Amino acid sequence: AFPSAFAAADLGATSGRVMVGRVGPANLDLSEAHRFANRPVQVGGSLHWDVLGLYQGVLDGLREAARSGGVASVGVDSWAVDYGLLDTDGRLLGNPHHYRDTRTQDTAPRVWDTVPAEELYRVTGLQHLPFNTVFQLAAARGSAQLGAARTLLLIPDLLVHWLTGTVGAELTNASTTALLDAGTGTWSGDLIGRLGLDPRLFPPIRHPGELAGPLLPEVARATGLAEGTPVVTVASHDTASAVAAVPADRPGFGYISCGTWSLAGLELDDPVVTEASRAANFTNERGIDGTFRFLRNIMGLWLLSETLRTWQAEGLPTDLAPLLARAAEAPRFAALIDPDAPEFMAPGDMPARIAAYCERTGQRAPADQAAMVRCILESLALAHRATLRAAAELSGRDLDVVHLVGGGSRNDLLCQFTADALGLPVVAGPTEATALGNILVQARAHGLVDDRAAMRRLVAGTQHLRHYRPGGDQRAWAAAGARVGLA
């Protein structure tokens, strides 16, 4: 059988890429058509995405995909929560804000004055993150831009709009706004009204697997893709695409989608919206096929990438392989942090903030680069442990294996630490889970793959996976976690 090709445009916080996936009954090959940097811009006192630059990168990638033989369809995914606003003419109003912009720092209480935090959680099932769309919109309240806005599009929906001219809100990503009703999977008119937002801002919900629309003729011409090439709605929240491609073969699995963030949790058929899950700040984001991604955000490899960025500016070595080798030899549990401490959120000097955290909590700051890397990875492994154990407890489920997917699955030391900390086997890979999930939802829409289980079997049978057995001392990990409140 001759495999069919699909293009996945996948935007990450530090780079975007267009991947071409070729899918057959027993094959799934992925190749990179084009990768481009994503460099946020600080201007006029706020942090923005260069969304036109990103769109240009997607067009360049689609042109490469066309050159490599064309594709049956295109899908777009990116990080969650951020949006662009269109005016009545359908033109973009300003540049979308970056979720790490500090303007939302104090807005949550204003929202909670109108809709108490407990109620917001009960309706939306969403963990509290200061940058959830609902808080960004509260920060924008009264602005000329929001006043002039007629349509709100999350980042992938905005790109799909430019590719096809159509307007819609993809479900998995819409579920990260804190304006979607977790029960019904539709916009909560009640929340939108009470928060003083114009209900017309929110386009109709689209589901993964639906056709978004054919490429606009001008886009087909510009990219060399065939006239009428469909853009398929995928799980446009990158984490939802990654979870869709977790190569699990039985129900008792946990996952960690590990990149800029570590998204650690379980796939459930029903949301868990209890007071206990709210207190533990667990989210119920939508997955494909009516599933829920019951997970928590952990600060993730952002801690390491910002550390490397700082070191690079200081002229220190930043080659990861030797740093990891030295970190593996550094003393264990010498210094630990809670990765989710709010001071680690914004861009900037990460080693200084980690050192300050350690000193404030009565620890000695990491003495050298190896100790710093070890501190970050051990702390992340402890957060993985605490989060997955809590997820299992809150949902009443058993865990017997953990799948670690995404760029972080290349980090051998982190995979081993995670297995050790949890006392569970860790299956690492695929690295490109997000792009694979994007492509498999398209392949399924074309009738090439039957269902979710078949998608996962195809990933498991074709992608390179590594297996980590738990070793080391469980009790030592538990005690280390207790030191930083990660029991």
User: CB atoms < 10 A from the CB of 223, how many?
Assistant: 23
The smaller minimum CB distance to ligand LRH, of residues 229 and 277, is found at 277
DSSP 9-52: EEE-SSEEEEEEEEE-SS-EEEEEEEEEE---EEETTEEE--HH
Q: List residues near ligand LRH by CB under 6 A.
A: 79-81, 99, 237-239, 260-261, 263, 297
Nearest approach, Cβ of residue 111 and ligand LRH (Å): 18
Find, among 413, 462, 417, 45, the residue nearest to 247 by Cα: 462
Residues in the chain: 487
Q: Which residues touch 355 (CB under 8 Å, ≥6 apart)?
A: 365, 366
**41 Cβ contact partners less than 8 Å away, ≥ 6 residues apart:** 47, 48, 49, 50, 95
- State which residue, 61 or 259, has the beta carbon closest to ligand LRH: 259
Closer residue to ligand LRH, CB minimum distance, 178 or 219: 178
Q: Among residues 142, 156, 56, 37, which one has the least CA distance to residue 96?
A: 156
As a whole number of angstroms, the distance between CA 66 and CA 298 comes to 37
Q: Are 264 and 384 in contact (CB under 8 A)?
A: yes
Residue 279 CA to residue 293 CA, distance in Å, equals 17
User: Shortest gap between Cβ of 185 and ligand LRH (angstroms)?
Assistant: 18
Output 72 or 299, the one with its CB closest to ligand LRH. 299
List Cβ neighbours of 116 (8 Å cut-off, separation of 6 or more): none
Using DSSP's 3-state secondary structure scheme, residue 192 falls into helix
Minimum distance, C-beta of residue 320 to ligand LRH, in the bound complex (Å): 20
96 CB-near residues (< 8 Å, 6+ apart): 48, 49, 51, 82, 83, 84, 155, 158
Strands 401-405 and 253-258: parallel
Burial of 100 (0-12, 13-18, 19+ CB in 10 A): middle
What is the smallest separation between the CB atom of 430 and ligand LRH, expressed in angstroms?
A: 16
Q: Which is nearer to ligand LRH, 133 or 416 (CB)?
A: 133
For residue 40, whether the previous peptide bond is cis, meaning omega lies within 30 degrees of 0, is no
Catalytic residue among 101, 238, 340, 420: 238
Is 238 annotated as catalytic? yes
| CB-CB contact of 414 with 390 (8 Å) | no
The type of residue at 133 is T
CA distances from 458 to 3, 248, 439, 448, 463 (A): 13, 10, 12, 11, 8
Contacts of 58 (CB under 8 A, 6+ apart): 9, 11, 16, 18, 76, 159, 163
- Toward ligand LRH, which CB reaches closer, 130 or 247? 130
- Distance set, CA 60 to CA 71, 73, 217, 226, 383 (Å): 14, 16, 16, 15, 38
Nearer Cβ to ligand LRH (192/299): 299
Catalytic residues: 238
